[in-house]
């Protein structure tokens, strides 16, 4: 029996070595973690050669079975360790391959961008014009202020000496907002209401004098045409100080005109009417197209109108609580869009809002 068992044990031990060698070869040959999972079941699972060998231990003598069993377990452990090591290698390689694939995808996007470059946007010509204007006025000693685009009737009209039913309100085709009482909240029709805010604040905080410009968007119910767009931009100027004269106003406007347009372009003031200034004037500049000789754009006058101006009406000072005997001032307001239109000589204001990049790209 010992002989038989002994011989059986030798046979089995040789077989275990062979099983191990074959299992290790299969593990090394696995080329993916999925393949390795199958190999693992085949070489270490219930139906594996190891399990079969294990079952055969029962036929051996106890002492021998224990020894052979130990060899078998050691062999299994080595195979198991080989599976673990191989899996680590395969999983790492698979992760690297996945990352590489992602990276290649990105490369493709970049590659196509090189073929058709992504175009960069740029600031709109109105924004640029507004910034240039601010620079010129800041250089002249003005500060820059802003106000709301939605106003109450008080700021847009009444505080500017246009009580309800004042005929001058007809100058402004107003968009009213349906909030609260009818016709009390509106989209500002000009930047002049910002004057009223600034003067109120200066009175409240005791910070007179004021030297400020106020650029911003305005709204009027105008039918769009070559010279009108219902959403446009103005810049307002306001000076409130002691002994301010009409000469200061005219000088400020001329200084601004030559600083912005260059030495060939001048300004002139023609008598006009605004409820919030007295006296009032229209602000005109030399026609850019004919440089004053007369052409279709300027109706042969040599001049093009840009905006309005005048000495702040005492009624406006009184409305905000400034003593008109102590303080005087001037105000002006003109269209930024129209200024850009004049300076760059494009034929139609509507181009500013049509978003045709071929037009916008030029500036």
**Inter-residue contact 283 to 249 (CB < 8 Å):** no
Nearest approach, Cβ of residue 309 and ligand PHE (Å): 5
Q: How far is the CB of 189 from ligand PHE (least distance, A)?
A: 7
Q: Is 310 in the site for ligand PHE (CB under 6 A)?
A: yes
307 near ligand PHE, judged by CB under 6 A: yes
Least spacing, CB of residue 224 vs ligand PHE, in Å: 18
CB 238 to ligand PHE: min, Å: 8
**Angle in degrees, CA 270, 273, 274, rounded to 5:** 125
CB nearer ligand PHE, residue 9 or residue 161: 161
Using CB under 6 A, pick the residue from 9, 161, 252, 277 that binds ligand PHE.
277
In 38-58, which positions are buried (b, 16+ CB within 10 angstroms) versus exposed (e)?
ebbeebbeeebbbeebbebbe
CB of 119 to ligand PHE, least distance (A): 36
Per-residue contact flags (x/-) with ligand PHE for residues 172 to 211, judged by CB under 6 A: ------------------x-x-------------------
- C-alpha dist (Å) from residue 282 to 139, 143, 305, 331: 24, 24, 7, 12
User: Nearer Cβ to ligand PHE, position 48 or 277?
Assistant: 277
| CA proximity to 142, closest of 129, 151, 133 | 133
Q: 235-254: which residues touch ligand PHE (CB under 6 A)? A: 236
Q: Which two tokens stand for residue 206?
A: 């005791």
CB of 283 to ligand PHE, least distance (A): 8
The whole-angstrom separation of Cα 17 and Cα 1 is 24
Q: Across the chain, how many H-helices and E-strands are there?
A: 11, 10
Dihedral sign, Cα of residue 329, residue 196, residue 278, residue 315: negative
Please pick, from the candidates 309, 320, 339, 340, the single residue that binds ligand PHE as defined by CB under 6 A.
309
Smallest distance from the beta carbon of 274 to ligand PHE, in angstroms?
Answer: 4
Q: Are 12 and 60 in contact (CB under 8 A)?
A: yes
Phi, psi torsion values for 123, nearest 5 degrees: -70, 145
Instruction: Say if CB 17 and CB 11 are below 8 A apart.
Output: no
**Min. distance of Cβ 308 from ligand PHE in angstroms?**
3
Q: Does 256 bind ligand PHE (CB under 6 A)?
A: no
Stretch that binds ligand PHE, among 105-113, 176-184, 294-302, 305-313 (CB under 6 A): 305-313
- Max Cα–Cα distance, the chain, nearest Å: 135
Name the segment binding ligand PHE (CB under 6 A); options: 54-62, 85-93, 162-170, 302-310: 302-310
Q: What is the crossing angle of helices 33-44 and 49-56, to 10°?
A: 10
Taking residue 78's Cβ as centre, other Cβ atoms within 10 Å add up to 13
We find the least distance from the C-beta atom of residue 236 to ligand PHE, in angstroms, to be 6
Residues 323-352 that bind ligand PHE (CB under 6 A): 331-333
Q: Which of 193, 275, 308, 329 touches ligand PHE by CB under 6 A?
A: 308
CB 70 within 8 A of CB 76: no
- Which lies closer to ligand PHE via its Cβ, residue 61 or residue 278? 278
Residue 185 to residue 103: CA distance in whole angstroms:
56
Question: How many chain residues are in contact with ligand PHE, going by CB under 6 A?
Answer: 13
Residue closer to ligand PHE, measured from CB, 50 or 332: 332
Distance CA 155, CA 189 (A): 11
Q: Give residues in contact with ligand PHE (CB under 6 A).
A: 190, 192, 236, 274, 277, 280, 307-310, 331-333
């Amino acid at each position: 029996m010992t002989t038989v068992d002994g011989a059986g044990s030798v046979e089995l031990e040789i077989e275990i070595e062979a099983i191990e060698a074959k299992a290790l070869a299969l593990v090394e040959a696995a080329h993916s973690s999925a393949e390795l999972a199958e190999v693992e079941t085949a070489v270490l699972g219930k139906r594996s050669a190891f399990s079969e060998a294990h079952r055969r231990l029962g036929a051996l003598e106890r002492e021998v079975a224990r020894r052979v069993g130990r060899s078998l377990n050691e062999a299994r452990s080595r195979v198991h360790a080989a599976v673990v090591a191989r899996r680590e290698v395969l999983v790492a390689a698979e992760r690297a391959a996945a990352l590489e694939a992602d990276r290649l995808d990105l490369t493709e996007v970049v590659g196509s961008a090189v073929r058709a470059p992504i175009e960069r946007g740029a600031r709109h010509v109105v924004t640029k014009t507004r910034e240039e204007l601010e620079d010129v006025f800041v250089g002249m000693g003005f500060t820059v202020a802003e106000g709301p685009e939605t106003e109450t009737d008080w700021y847009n009209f009444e505080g500017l000496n246009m009580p309800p039913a004042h005929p001058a309100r007809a100058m402004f085709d107003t968009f009213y907002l349906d909030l609260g009482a009818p016709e009390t909240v509106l989209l500002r029709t000009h930047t002049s209401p910002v004057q009223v805010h600034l003067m109120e604040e200066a009175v409240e905080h005791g910070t007179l004098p004021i030297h400020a410009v106020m650029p911003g968007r305005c709204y009027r119910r105008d039918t769009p045409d070559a010279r009108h767009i219902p959403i446009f931009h103005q810049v307002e100027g306001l000076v409130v100080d002691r002994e301010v004269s009409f000469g200061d106003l005219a000088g400020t406007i001329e200084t601004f005109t030559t600083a912005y347009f260059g030495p060939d372009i001048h300004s002139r003031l023609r008598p006009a009417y605004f409820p919030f200034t007295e006296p009032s004037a229209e602000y005109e500049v030399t026609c850019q197209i004919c440089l004053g000789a007369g052409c279709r754009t300027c109706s042969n006058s040599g001049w093009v109108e840009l905006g309005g101006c005048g000495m702040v009406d005492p009624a406006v000072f009184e409305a905000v609580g400034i003593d008109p005997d102590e303080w005087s001032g001037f105000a002006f307001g003109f269209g930024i869009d129209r200024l850009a239109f004049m300076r760059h000589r494009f034929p139609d204001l509507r181009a500013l809002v049509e978003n045709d990049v071929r037009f916008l790209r030029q500036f």
